[in-house]
A and B are shown apart, each in its own frame.
Chain A
Amino acid sequence: MRLAFILSEIGSGLRRNLSMVVSVILVTFVSLTFVGAAGMLQMQINQMKGYWYDKVQVAIFLCSEGSTAPGCASGPVTPEQQQGLNALLESPAVSQYINDFQFESKDEAYKHFKDQFSNSPIVDSVTPDQLPASFRINMKDPEKYQIISETFSSQPGVETVIDQRQLLERLFSVMNGASLVAVGIAGVMIVCAILLIATTIRLSAFSRRRETGIMRLVGASKTVIQLPFILEGVIAAVIGAALASGTLWAVAQFFLGDYMSRQYPDTAFISSGQTLILAPALLILGGSLAGISSLLTLRRYLRV
């Protein structure tokens, strides 16, 4: 009975200041969309880093069938050539520059590729043979990339030497910058959302002061008096958070999944499913922001 009563109170409260409730929904929607966009950018960065990015800086790709590089004229890398490269990496001339290195076989390369491109149709058209084996090198000083490149580029069986940091670092710094901007906007918008929720709750408490006054006099508990107001804010904020989650999902599904991955087939994009892990965070964030701000407002404006 008390639950039914509280629910009907919430319903009438939401109806009574519908326009305020709609603005709370929209403001939390926009602010949490920015929060989520920052999260998505970070997820996208991780996605593009793939398996090796944080572990090594330089990759030496070995010749495979169909390699067209000049060093691969004699066909795919032979076990002897591979042995020779391994020995060279361990020789004092080279090993003084590197912390350690690892060999990635074709099969391992395929596995890592599959993980990284799991959301992309490209994964079905690639077989282990098409992917080169590689040495992955963790540099003592990444700036010394040139030395490795000069030493290995001309070695037999080497297709190419890549400094993968150089490839992605600029892009990542742009994306990190964008994340920061998104977080900044989100911060301002969240302040707006909190103030708006506080104002809404205050108006709501004011417009229902007659009811709450009577509730107080007949001995309704603090919970029964306050909960409808708090839930009113929380429900509005949670609806906003749900809209934000839906928007992020749609961006991942339609913009990244359908459009961008067709434009840039060799880039790994996050899947729409991955964005759903942001949803609970956004819902909790929105709900607790509203809950806390309405609780604080009520402490000042609603006698119980």
Chain B
Amino acid sequence: MIRFENVTKVYDQKARPALDSVNLEIDRGEFAFLVGASGSGKSTFLRLVLKEDRATSGAVYVAGQNVAKISSWRVPRLRRGIGVVFQDFRLLPQKNVFANVAFAMQVIGKSRSVIRDTVPEVLKTVGLEGKEHRMPHELSGGEQQRVAIARAVVNRPGILLADEPTGNLDPTTSMGIMGVLDKINQNGTTVVMATHDDDIVNEMRKRVVELKNGVVIRDEARALYTSMIPVVGQSRRLKDASGRESPDGGLPGKGAEGEAQR
């Protein structure tokens, strides 16, 4: 679904590349975490998928298509196939929940009746039924992020990119959001999530791609946030945070047993 071939991205000639010869393939329907320190290139990775920026060298393929070869008037079509969620939700403050989600359909010309049918359905998927008419400022952060997710997936994109979607949320709320993302993933959408949230990564036990200074230093299936440090201290925090919401039914702390295998 997403393939990076030797991708290098240089923003500033004098600085080190934001991404350095990255080779990576994410399959259709996969759920992958992108982890790494601040400035390691996670957001850059996502921007390249969206063709927000051009790779300096190498090729980025999305759904089999080399994005460098997509002409500028076709970029909107590429983006319709990709949903995006950010740390800061980016809702329209003067529109209510329904209108915020409907907006994503209006601007690509969906008919009123399709919008009327689809939006409540999606709001239900993200667990917001009955809150259609709330304004964003009347929602908690977690609820706002659910609206943002609903908006990102309402046009049924094949890919969902999430850039630190839980960065502003407390651990419990974060786990709720992860449940939503997991559900969307179960429905067949490829999910790529950049995050610093070790608890979440450890809890979910999905594929983890770790970047450091623009280089992929780790790529493991069913992995933990970090392969270096034993995560003894984290298990308690995870327990407090996640409650019983763990989507794969795994017990909190299970990750402490060791690193993922690959």
Total residues of chain B contacting the partner, CB 8 A = 25
Residues of A within 8 A of B110 (CB): 1
Residues of A within 8 A of B80 (CB): 218-219
Q: How far is the CA of A87 from the CA of B142 in the complex (A)?
A: 106
Residues of B within 8 A of A2 (CB): 106-107, 109
Q: What residue in chain A is nearest B112 (Cβ atoms)? A: A1
Q: How far is the CA of A214 from the CA of B151 in the complex (A)?
A: 10
A222 near B73: Cβ-Cβ < 8 Å: yes
Contact (A218, B111) CB under 8 Å given A210-B92, A211-B92, A213-B90: no
Interface residues of A in 1-58 (CB under 8 A from B): 1-2, 5
B2 touches A (CB below 8 Å): no
A165 touches B (CB below 8 Å): no
A224 touches B (CB below 8 Å): yes
A91 touches B (CB below 8 Å): no
Residues of B within 8 A of A5 (CB): 106-107, 109
Interface membership of chain A positions 186-216, coded 1 if the CB is closer than 8 angstroms to chain B and 0 otherwise: 0000000000000000000000001101111
B92 near A1: Cβ-Cβ < 8 Å: no
A218 near B92: Cβ-Cβ < 8 Å: no
Q: How far is the CA of A210 from the CA of B91 in the complex (A)?
A: 8
Q: How far is the CA of A88 from the CA of B168 in the complex (A)?
A: 105
B54 touches A (CB below 8 Å): no
Judged by DSSP, the binding face of A is helix
B79 near A217: Cβ-Cβ < 8 Å: yes
B108 touches A (CB below 8 Å): yes
Residues of A within 8 A of B50 (CB): 217
B90 near A214: Cβ-Cβ < 8 Å: yes
Q: What residue in chain A is nearest B110 (Cβ atoms)? A: A1
Task: Bin the interface of chain A by size.
Answer: 10 to 19
A220 touches B (CB below 8 Å): yes
Interface membership of chain B positions 66-109, coded 1 if the CB is closer than 8 angstroms to chain A and 0 otherwise: 00000011001111110110000010100000000001101111
A221 touches B (CB below 8 Å): yes
Q: How far is the CA of A216 from the CA of B106 in the complex (A)?
A: 13
Q: What residue in chain B is nearest A212 (Cβ atoms)? A: B107
Selected contact of B79 from candidates A1, A211, A218, A224, CB within 8 Å:
A218
Contact (A219, B103) CB under 8 Å given A1-B111, A211-B92: no
A218 near B108: Cβ-Cβ < 8 Å: yes
Residues of B within 8 A of A221 (CB): 73, 76, 108
B155 touches A (CB below 8 Å): yes
Q: How far is the CA of A253 from the CA of B38 in the complex (A)?
A: 72
Q: How far is the CA of A221 from the CA of B152 in the complex (A)?
A: 17
Q: What residue in chain B is nearest A211 (Cβ atoms)? A: B92
Q: How far is the CA of A220 from the CA of B73 in the complex (A)?
A: 10
A218 near B151: Cβ-Cβ < 8 Å: yes
Residues of B within 8 A of A1 (CB): 106, 109-112
B73 near A214: Cβ-Cβ < 8 Å: no
Q: How far is the CA of A70 from the CA of B15 in the complex (A)?
A: 101
Residues of B within 8 A of A217 (CB): 50, 79, 84
A218 near B155: Cβ-Cβ < 8 Å: yes
Q: How far is the CA of A220 from the CA of B75 in the complex (A)?
A: 9
Contact (A216, B79) CB under 8 Å given A5-B106, A5-B107: yes
- Using CB atoms and an 8 Å cutoff, list the residues of chain B in contact with chain A: 50, 72-73, 76-81, 83-84, 90, 92, 103-104, 106-112, 151-152, 155
19 interchain pairs, CB-CB under 8 A: A1-B110, A1-B111, A2-B106, A210-B90, A211-B103, A214-B90, A214-B92, A215-B107, A217-B50, A218-B79, A218-B80, A218-B103, A218-B104, A219-B79, A219-B80, A220-B108, A222-B73, A224-B107, A225-B107
Q: Which 4 A-B pairs have the closest CB atoms?
A: A219-B80, A219-B79, A220-B107, A2-B109
Known: A1-B110, A221-B108. 12 other contacts (CB 8 A): A1-B112, A211-B92, A214-B92, A215-B107, A217-B79, A218-B151, A218-B152, A218-B155, A219-B77, A220-B108, A222-B73, A224-B108
